[in-house]
Amino acid sequence: MPRTLPNTRAISEYSGSTYVESTWLALGFLLLEHFVIRGDKDEQAVLCSKDKTYDLKIADTSNMLLFIPGCKTPDQLKGEETQSNIVHTEIFGFSNNYWELRRCRPKLKKLKKLLMENTYEGPDSQKEEDPSRSKYTTEDLLNQIQASEEEIMAQLQVLNACEIGGYWRILEFDYEIKLLNHVTQLVDSESWSFNKVPLNVCLQELGPLEPEEMIEHCLKCYGKKYVDKGEVYFELNADKVCRATAEMLLQNAVKFNLAEFQEVWQQSVPEGMTTRLDQLKGLALVDRSSRPEIIFLFKVDALPEGTQDRFNSLFSLREKWTEEDIAPYIQWSMRSFPLNIPATIISLLSSLQNHSSLGERRYTHVLRRFVWREANYRCVAY
């Protein structure tokens, strides 16, 4: 009985006119997902699924990748009757590299930048009568922000943005505080518990002052909605109310005497709420080395998105950091990307700042890069 030889491919160049060199995209197990590439001309493109964002990196391969239309695997060829063991195949394209996907943090800083171009100051603001002012729908944001749809929608909640007339808007901070004051003053006048603020009564009492949708939006931003015996209530979050009050006080001062600030802050919040400095993580910094001790506004969203740039900004502001102080500024708000630097490395970095020799400064710089590379690796691992 003659021995059956395996099928052999005779490869030749494509005879048509569209033979091209190409770059392939390695999707692997992600092949079944829906993807879209996002990025302006001045941005490095990213690939987005419904809920994740990926960097596109070109990776070289020592093996040439061939694109063969209608290519069949050996198992498929076994099921076909052929008179010859030679399979003639034309190559449509080839590549020595491919696009590799690497999970990355969504680039969301631009989202706030766009929405801050035209903040909402209330229905009576003259800005609302100007049609030339920029406004963005969900579709507009999907076309301009380098993040997945779910990541963008989650960040809109973080920013306390709301849809007004089909457009996403951020409330002007002073207007947001005005709404909050209306709510807290009503709670105080009615002697309600902060844990049980009735929505319908709030809308009835405050409706003549502000649009009902704005009152409800304020309650959603500073409270948690629940239903009791068919009635809708909100449980106000004391930490959020105290934090907003602190921001209001700090935004008008470059630096504030810490002791005086704590006294004024406690007097400014609704009665029954207690202020604590840990409520200000990622919002303000305390300088305990100065005399007297001071506090100043230092918001986490003002820092660069890039890990190295953020690290440089932090250490240009302060040479020595405790883990407690720096943690809010290097922990990204997205739950998928926790960033924790061990206290031992923080201590080492801090101690090295006291040495001024060139060699030690270089070593400090190298150590910083190492910390961020390791931290960034933990961030994007999946």
User: What's the CATH code, domain 173-236?
Assistant: 1.10.10
Q: pLDDT by residue (tens digit) across 336-347?
A: 343 444 444 454
Residue 296 tokens, joined = 């100043």
Per-residue pLDDT of the chain (382 residues; tens, 9 = 90+): 454 555 555 555 555 544 444 444 545 444 545 788 888 888 888 889 899 998 888 777 777 767 677 676 667 666 665 555 666 677 766 667 777 788 888 999 999 999 999 999 999 888 888 888 999 999 999 999 999 999 999 999 999 999 999 999 999 999 999 999 999 999 999 999 999 999 999 999 999 999 999 999 999 999 999 999 999 999 999 999 999 999 999 998 888 999 999 999 999 999 999 999 999 999 999 998 888 999 999 999 888 887 788 888 888 888 888 888 888 888 753 333 434 444 444 544 554 444 444 434 443 444 455 454 444 434 333 2
Amino acid in the structure at residue 110: K
Amino acid in the structure at residue 5: L
pLDDT at 81: 58
Helix, strand, or coil (residue 54)? strand
Contact indicator for 102, 55 with CB cutoff of 8 Å: yes
Residue 306 tokens, joined = 């890039």
Domain range summary for the chain, segments of one domain joined by +: 8-103, 109-169, 173-236, 303-380
Q: pLDDT by residue (tens digit) across 116-161?
A: 999 999 998 888 888 889 999 999 999 999 999 999 999 999 999 9
How many whole angstroms separate alpha carbon 144 and alpha carbon 167? 15
Q: Quick count: other Cβ atoms within 10 Å of Cβ 84? A: 10
Contacts of 19 (CB under 8 A, 6+ apart): 13, 91, 92, 93
Answer yes or no: pTM beyond 0.75: no
Contacts of 277 (CB under 8 A, 6+ apart): 262, 286
Residue 308 tokens, joined = 């190295």
Residue 122 tokens, joined = 């209330």
Q: Helices (DSSP H) in 83-198: which residue ranges? A: 109-115, 138-144, 149-158, 173-190
pLDDT at 170: 96
